[in-house]
Structure 1
Amino acid sequence: MTNLVLVILCLIIGVLLQKVKEMPDDAPKALNTYLIYIVLPALALLHIPETQLSLGLLLPVLTAWISFGLSWVVFGTLGKKLGWSKATTGCLIIVPGLANTSFIGFPIIEALYGSEGLKIALLVDQAGSFIIVSSIAIIVASIYGQGKKRKRDVTKKILTFPPFIFFLIAIGMNIFHVQLSGMPQEILEAFAATLTPIALIGVGLQVKINSSTLSSIHLWYGLGYKLLVIPVLIFFAYRLVLSPDNILYKVSVMETAMAPMITGSIIAINNNLNPKLASLLVGIGIPISFGTLIGWYYLVG
């Protein structure tokens, strides 16, 4: 209960901080940079080395790949049939195709399912969402964005993305049974503990809802896919292979049902893929998702 209260409180603090004149306009970007470069690598080094890897864990990881792959098929097709601009199509492929499995997902999954749930969520994020956002999403952005990027530049972005690098390091540590202890572990735990307040305050700083922003049909296409279509697909498909009481099943559905990924929106914005839509999908999708997630939680138990 404490963690859930903290989630709501941090989001409200972020919204209220929008009223503070001294707050820099790029504060959310600075907070997200800290999370990407420091906190997510710390979480990877803390949890992945001690996680028992198994074929069963591939199922929750696959949810991220299924979601993004289907998003590319659905919005790529709709974009052509409905005459959307390439920028809008690319935005809808990337942002709703990726779930906020870390900034929102981690604190919520930990609050609902404890440390065991968090370990599964971390794999979904690192082996799913973040590999996609640091590789395939960049390829999509180069296809639908303005101008062509050299293959060498795309490859460099992928190989130098910090969470991807530390994910590979953490997997190596797991394979060779290397685990941190003592002072290094305590330092990583201190950084990891800042995830929830920093991430959700940053989200609150970006939440802006008014009548004009709610009229975008593309917004509702994206949120409909992210918060309803893909969770329904995973909810029923995974019931065929996992018990409803299995924590792998519960975390798979809940992580899929998270709001659009902040980092995905940053990729879209940086590549000029309808930046306004990318911001709306995250800024409006996150508060709405708190309501839809309650429904999914009661469905999976």
Structure 2
Amino acid sequence: MVNIILIVVFLCLGIFLQRFRIVPANTSKYLNNYLIYVVLPALALRYLPRIDLSPELLLPVVSAWLGFGLSWLIFGTLGKIHNWGNSVTGCLVITAGLANTSFVGIPIIQALYGEEGVQIALLIDQAGSFIIVSSLAIIVASVYSFEKKRKRDITRKILTFPPFMFFLIAFGLNFYGVEIGQNLDFFLQLITVTLTPVALTSVGLQVKMNFEALRSKFLWYGLGYKLVLIPLIILVLFKYVFQLEGLLLQVSVMEAAMAPMITGSIIAITHDLEPKLASLLVGIGIPLSFLTLGIWYFIVA
């Protein structure tokens, strides 16, 4: 309970700092860089070498790919049928198809399920969400904005991204049975405990809410898919078809139910795919997701 309270406290702190302009406007950028270049690599090194690799672990990773694939299929089809236009369709595909599995997801999973849950969440984030946002999301953005991106640029971005590099290093340590020493583990622990305060403060600094735009049907299409439909599909498919249970099922559903990813919205915005809608999906989605995540937590408990 204390961890959940801390999540709300630091999210509200970020919103407060943004609202009253107490910190510089680019503070969230520096916090994000710290998370990307320091905290996420430390998380990978601390947790992934310990994980007991099994074929079942592929399913949680697949959940991220399934979430984006169905988003592309559903919104791509509806966009053509109802003539939404490339801008709206591309925005919904990207923003609703990507979950905030790291900055919001990992702190929440850590609070609810502890270190074992974090190990699974890291797999979903690094082998799922990150690769998708660095590759498929860029491709979708290029398709719907008519901007082309070279394949080698996408590949280089994935392979040189620090969290993914340390993700590969951590798996190498796991494969060869190399254990992290106590001194290094203590140092990594000091870094990883900063995840929740820094990540949620950063999210709060970036949340933009525009209540006048709540009437947008596209906003509710996107949030309905992200917060309700895709976690429901993951739950039914994984539980009743693949017979997944326990922590693997719980973390898979909860990560699928996270609010839209901030990075995904940034990709949509930079490709001029309905920037206001992309911002709104994140700005309304993150606060609303705290309610829907509570409901999903009791459903999968």
- With normalisation by structure 2, the TM-score equals 0.93
Contact 1:146 1:271 in 2 (8 A): no
CA displacement at 1:178 relative to structure 2: 2.1
1:163 deviates by 2.1
Q: d(CA) in 2 for partners of 1:206 and 1:265?
A: 11
| Cα distance in 2, alignment partners of residues 267 and 298 from structure 1 | 33
Does residue 154 of the first structure (1) align with residue 151 of the second (2)? Answer: no
Q: In the alignment, what sits opposite 1:196? A: 196
Q: Would you say the 8 A contact 1:76–1:89 is kept in 2?
A: yes
Q: 1:134-149 residue pairs with structure 2 within 5 A?
A: 134-149=134-149
- Name the counterpart of 1:275: 275
Residues 178, 206 of structure 1: alpha-carbon distance in 2 compared, 3 angstrom cutoff: same
Map 1:56-135 onto structure 2 (within 5 A).
56-135=56-135
CA distance in structure 1 between the partners assigned to 2:165 and 2:135 by the alignment: 12
State whether residues 208 and 279 of structure 2, in contact with CA within 8 Å, keep that contact through their aligned partners in structure 1: no
Deviation at 1:146, TM superposition (A): 4.4
For the structure 1 residues 42 and 271, does the alpha-carbon distance in structure 2 shift closer, same or farther, using more than 3 Å as the test?
farther
- Residue of structure 1 equivalent to 2:259: 259
Question: Counterparts of 1:72 and 1:80 in 2: how far apart (Å)?
Answer: 12
C-alpha separation between the residues in 1 aligned to 2:202 and 2:25?
12
Q: How is 1:14-25 mapped onto 2 (pairs within 5 angstroms)?
A: 14-25=14-25
Backbone CA RMSD of aligned residues: 1.8
Structure 1: which amino acid aligns with 2:243?
A: L
| Equivalent in the alignment of 2:292 | 292
**Aligned-pair CA distance for 1:226:** 0.2
Displacement, 1:199?
Answer: 1.0
| Residues 179-235 of structure 1, C-alpha deviations (whole Å, 9 max, x = no match) | 322333233222211111111111112233343221222211110100011011112
**Structure 1 length as normaliser, TM-score?**
0.93
Q: Deviations over 1:121-168 (max 9, x none)?
A: 111111111121122222222222343223332332222222222222
User: Which stretch has the larger CA shift, 220-229 or 37-46?
Assistant: 37-46
Deviates more, 1:281-290 or 1:233-242: 233-242
SS at match of 1:142: helix
8 Å CA contact 1:91–1:277 kept in 2: the answer is yes
**Would the aligned equivalents of 1:242 and 1:249 in 2 still touch at CA under 8 Å?**
no
The gaps in structure 2 that reach 5 residues or longer are none
* Counterpart-to-counterpart distance in 2, 1:228 and 1:17: 30
- Kindly indicate whether the alpha-carbon contact (under 8 Å) linking 1:219 and 1:277 is maintained by their aligned counterparts in 2: yes
- Give ranges in structure 1 of 5+ residues lacking alignment: none
Structure 1 equivalent of residue 13 of structure 2: 13
% identical aligned pairs? 60
CA distance in 2, matches of 1:86, 1:230: 22
> Across the two proteins, how many residue pairs are aligned to each other?
300
Partner of residue 239, structure 1: 239
Change (3 A) 1:295 1:156: same
Code of the residue aligned with 1:44 in structure 2: it is: A
Q: 1:170 to 1:87 in 2, by over 3 A?
A: farther
What secondary structure, in the 3-state scheme, does the structure 2 residue paired with 1:95 have? Answer: helix
Deviates more, 1:196-205 or 1:164-173: 164-173
- Structure 1 distance, partners of 2:221, 2:253, is 20
Q: Contact (CA 8 Å) 2:141, 2:147: kept in 1 or not? A: no
**Equivalent pair of 2:11/2:203 in contact (CA under 8 Å):** yes
Give the Å deviation of 1:17: 0.6
Q: In the alignment, is the contact (CA less than 8 A) between 2:138 and 2:149 conserved in 1?
A: no
Q: Comparing 82-91 with 221-230, which one deviates more in the overlay?
A: 82-91
Contact 1:130/1:163 (<8 A) preserved: no
